[in-house]
Chains A and B, each alone.
Chain A
Amino acid sequence: MEKILEVKNLKKYYPVQKGIFSKTSDSVKAVDGVSFSVQSGKTLGLVGESGCGKSTLARAVLRLIEPDLGFIFFKNKDITKLSYKEMKNIRRNFQIIFQDPFGSLDPRFTVFAIISEGLINFSANTKKEVIYEKTVKAVEDVGLSKDILNRYPHEFSGGQRQRISIARALVFSPKLLILDEPVSSLDVSIQAQIINLLINLQKEKGLSYVFIAHDLSVVRHICDQVCVMKSGKIVERGETSQIFANPTNSYTQRLLNSIPQINLHSTS
């Protein structure tokens, strides 16, 4: 199957500076030689506890943070060394959705402005009607009505905001979505709505996902492959069913054993 994204030996170190001359004494290895690939139309899960480098990895893959070392291939094209301009053209193909829908939407923009901003940015000459049409389409794709376009983010609940974030990403018809803990700040009933939405969108549009999460039961539900991260490294990878059934790495085992399960036997 076609690989939509391939990452090879990606590294991102942050220097630790000490003393009055800010001498670099050490470095935090946020992402330390990570390689993985995402198949077209599939979902790759990135799992790990806080501070393991998941979010740095997500941003480095999109070159929102410049990686120090390594290669990123998007559809077999190396994008690591592309210039800002070349990168801009390619960016519309992959989008990121952030964890906190309260922090990632500009409070001074209407929903229409939020969603259409990218469209205007990427194709300045597009007619207004086309932009409006595309925006409406994106909003309806995520299960909201077009009446909300003139409202502001503070008028929406967490779940609705996350839908707006997804609409903002979908408006370019991207191939790949990087979802950085998209449901972890939501309540379970709302979380279920968003998971359903993501599964539907993938089926309809053939999207590929990189799904970053610390909630393993959600990862098991939605991902085809899983990579388990610890201190900037991938310690185990494989098919979801296999990882959850027979984890080989001791850290993965510990992580899996920690998921609270609804257990009837302990109650009787």
Chain B
Amino acid sequence: MENILEIKNLSTYFYLENSIVKAVEGISFNLRKGEVLGLVGESGCGKSVTAYSIINLIDKPGKVGKGEVIFDKKDLLKINQNQLRNIRGKDISLIFQEPHAALNPVYTVGFQIAETVKAHNKNIHKKDLKKRVEELLLKVGLSPNKKNSYPHNLSGGEAQRVMIAQSLSCNPKILIADEPTTALDVTVQAKIIKLFKKLQKEENFSLIFITHDLALCSQIADRVAVMYAGQLVELASLAKIIKEPLHPYTQALFGSLPQKERRKERLAAVGGDVPDPDRKPKGCFFGPRCKIKEKDCLDKQPKLEEVKEGHWVRCFKRGDRG
């Protein structure tokens, strides 16, 4: 399948007064046309920073360092702000986690949706604009009358639908959804996931779905990328990740999920904590918590390698076996 976005060795560091926080360290993956890529990891592993780095939304003291983000034959990290602005919101758009924090409380939602449309179609007629806004609201399952509501009139689920309408307003080729359902209740979450699936079929955009919830990811993703401490540790199709996760961290994540058949039993938890971003271990980042580690793991950094077709793992022990 054709790649629509190629990310090569992306690194984003935050330069603090007395330390450098390496939030994202050398991430590489491709996004294929029309696929849903789930980006999974625990808090602080660099999922969101990766998403923001793709469209260079990192503010000081952070900086996207080396690396390339190739979209439409252009490197998004090299082009200037004006060109970038034409791509943001149009070709690549982003949905944030907290819909109420992302919407402006003093404008109606209709105005905010129209704003994006106008920004990319300068000469659009007023009537067309109004039609487009209503059409977008309908598409995300809201009544067109909602365009006159203010964000505080909306429930969390409705606000998230407005965010989705806004991000879809210019028919993006790539949609990046950063934990779009984390702030919502499960029943609402289920509806939003259903909406994402429907829209993805209709609009055929590529979706990067960021979440910390593996089970949720398995509902929507075609491929899954697992992140740990700023690195990609495993990347494979959903079926492969579920059936035979190769990285010990991915295995541990699955072990941590309560299962139907094993009530009241101990969960296979990983000991220890995620390393501090400015005090990462010397060797494999997961090394100190790993159950199958060897001496080498604590000294040297494993590389992300393709062990089987389409199955990438960053681990010495697994790499040798595969």
Give A residues with C-beta under 8 Å from B.
49-50, 157, 159-160, 187-193, 195-196, 199-200, 214, 216-218, 220-222, 240-241, 244, 254-255, 257-264, 266-268
Contact = CB atoms under 8 A, between A and B. Distances in A.
A264 to B, nearest CB: 6
Interface string B274-294: 100000000000000000000
A241 B193 CA distance: 27
A89 B218 CA distance: 50
Nearest to B218: A262
Interface residues of B, number: 40
A188 B271 contact: no
B310 to A, nearest CB: 14
Contact of A49 (B187, B237, B269, B274): B187
Interface stretch (B24-32, B77-85, B161-169, B254-262): B254-262
A218 B269 CA distance: 14
A192 B219 contact: no
A267 B215 contact: no
B266 interface: yes
Nearest to A256: B186
Given A217-B257, A221-B263, A267-B242, A190 B273 contact: yes
B257 A255 contact: no
A257 B260 CA distance: 14
B42 interface: yes
B177 to A, nearest CB: 15
Contacts of B267: 192, 195-196, 221
B124 interface: no
Contact of A260 (B219, B239, B243): B219
Rank and list the top 3 A-B pairs by shortest CB-CB distance, nearest first. A221-B258, A192-B269, A192-B256
Interface string B218-258: 11000000000000000001110011000000001111111
A258 B187 contact: yes
Nearest to A193: B269
19 contacts: A157-B274, A188-B253, A189-B42, A191-B256, A192-B267, A195-B267, A199-B266, A216-B186, A221-B259, A222-B258, A255-B186, A258-B186, A259-B186, A260-B190, A262-B242, A264-B239, A264-B242, A267-B242, A268-B239
Contacts of B214: 188, 262
Contacts of B218: 260-263, 267
A259 B190 CA distance: 8
Contacts of A266: 219
B243 to A, nearest CB: 7
B268 interface: yes
Contacts of A191: 256
Given A214-B186, A258-B187, A260-B219, A193 B258 contact: no
Nearest to B186: A258
A218 B213 CA distance: 13
B197 to A, nearest CB: 10
A241 B273 CA distance: 33
A160 B273 CA distance: 9
Given A187-B212, A262-B218, A263-B218, A157 B242 contact: no
Given A187-B274, A254-B187, A264-B243, 12 more contacts: A50-B185, A157-B274, A193-B269, A199-B266, A214-B185, A217-B215, A220-B258, A220-B260, A221-B258, A258-B189, A262-B242, A262-B257
Given A218-B258, A262-B218, A199 B186 contact: no
B216 interface: yes
Contact of A195 (B190, B193, B258, B260): B258
A50 B155 CA distance: 12
B121 interface: no
Nearest to A194: B269
A244 B214 CA distance: 21
B126 interface: no
Nearest to A240: B263
Contacts of B215: 217, 259-262
B127 interface: no
B273 A157 contact: yes
A188 B257 CA distance: 7
A244 B261 CA distance: 12
Contacts of A160: 273
B42 A187 contact: yes
B43 interface: yes
Contacts of A221: 258-259, 262-264, 267
A189 B186 contact: no
B255 to A, nearest CB: 7
Contacts of B266: 196, 199-200
A172 B219 CA distance: 44
A160 B272 CA distance: 10
Given A262-B214, A267-B242, A188 B42 contact: yes
